[in-house]
Amino acid sequence: MTHLLEIRNVSRRFGGVQAVGDVTAHVNEGELVGLIGPNGAGKTTLFNLISGFTPLSGGTVAFAGRTISGMTPNQVARLGISRTFQNLRVFPNMSVFDNVSVGAVGALPQGAFGALFGGLHRRGRDRSAEISRRTWEALEAVGLTHVAAELAANLPYGQRKYLEIARALAMRPRFLILDEPAAGLNDTETRDLAAFIKRLHGQGLTIMLVEHDMTLVMGICQRILVLASGRKIADGTPDAIRTDAAVLEAYLGVDE
């Protein structure tokens, strides 16, 4: 398999705190990879480093053979990486459609103003049509077309989770990062979400997710990376991770 994402000796310090330390890892094209670890292990920080929301203190990140360290989140997104967030970032007073269209706009080279207010010029019309096309495709993928005109604030929590995923999908990513997608969902919703993520992966999308629900992670991920205290302590199949001594100590041992 080809390495789509390569993380080399990546670190990040916040003052005197080492949030991520010398992490080297990769994600292959077409993989579904889980990233787990105890609270404070540095999982979300690592996602922020990959997606450009937090600058590196050391090391490099490469995507599809191109170094992306130092790029802005918009630049990273336009290369084909999109993500969701641990804390939902929906616009409550905008419609579901408009929330998702933000993702479609962000994936296109021209800024939002030029894309949305292109007037009657052909290029403006073409771009508006493309934004609409991507938005409807993403809404259909997550099953939210029937609430496209609703305010995001009116959606139940579970649907807002899918709304954020739809916005990420509207960017037509090559690599999708999901940060705790099952947080706050009940057991039935979590099972449905797991099946949905598997379907996305089955359509050829490379996915990396952080999740505390071990049943979900072990059930759908092909490979799992484990962080503890900002460092990678394991990398293997779900079966290997279940019995890894370092992982068991990180979660259950005296050091925790």
Q: Which of 172, 194, 212 is the last residue of a domain?
A: 172
**Domain total for the chain?**
2
Q: Which of 138, 172, 206 is the last residue of a domain?
A: 172
Q: Examine the domain organization and report whether 223 and 189 are in the same domain.
A: yes
Q: Which of 26, 15, 2 lies closest to 208 in space, CA to CA? A: 26
CA distance 112 to 117: 8
Q: Examine the domain organization and report whether 139 and 95 are in the same domain.
A: yes
CA distance 224 to 209: 9
Q: Examine the domain organization and report whether 70 and 186 are in the same domain.
A: yes
Q: What's the confidence (pLDDT) of residue 254?
A: 42
Q: Examine the domain organization and report whether 72 and 8 are in the same domain.
A: yes
Q: Examine the domain organization and report whether 182 and 162 are in the same domain.
A: no
- CATH label of the domain that carries residue 123: 3.40.50.300
* Angstrom distances, CA of residue 250 to CA of 26, 28, 181, 203, 227: 22, 26, 23, 34, 9
Q: Examine the domain organization and report whether 2 and 70 are in the same domain.
A: yes
Give strand pairing partners of 210.
Answer: 35, 179
Q: Examine the domain organization and report whether 158 and 94 are in the same domain.
A: yes
Q: Examine the domain organization and report whether 192 and 164 are in the same domain.
A: no
Query: Is 194:209 a contact under the CB 8 Å cutoff?
Result: no
Domain containing 12: what range? 1-80+173-256
Q: Examine the domain organization and report whether 66 and 136 are in the same domain.
A: no
Q: Examine the domain organization and report whether 75 and 98 are in the same domain.
A: no
Q: What's the confidence (pLDDT) of residue 235?
A: 96
CA distance 125 to 142: 26
Q: Examine the domain organization and report whether 164 and 184 are in the same domain.
A: no
Q: Which of 145, 172, 199 is the last residue of a domain?
A: 172
Q: At what angle do helices 187-202 and 157-169 cross, to 10 degrees?
A: 10
Q: Examine the domain organization and report whether 159 and 188 are in the same domain.
A: no
Q: What's the confidence (pLDDT) of residue 128?
A: 86
CB atoms within 10 A of CB 9: 12
Per-residue pLDDT of the chain (256 residues; tens, 9 = 90+): 679 999 999 999 998 889 999 999 999 999 999 999 998 899 999 999 999 999 999 999 999 999 999 999 999 999 999 999 887 888 999 999 999 999 888 777 654 444 444 444 555 677 788 899 999 999 999 999 999 999 999 999 999 999 999 999 999 999 999 999 999 999 999 999 999 999 999 999 999 999 999 999 999 999 999 999 999 999 999 999 999 999 998 886 644 3
Query: Is 224:250 a contact under the CB 8 Å cutoff?
Result: no
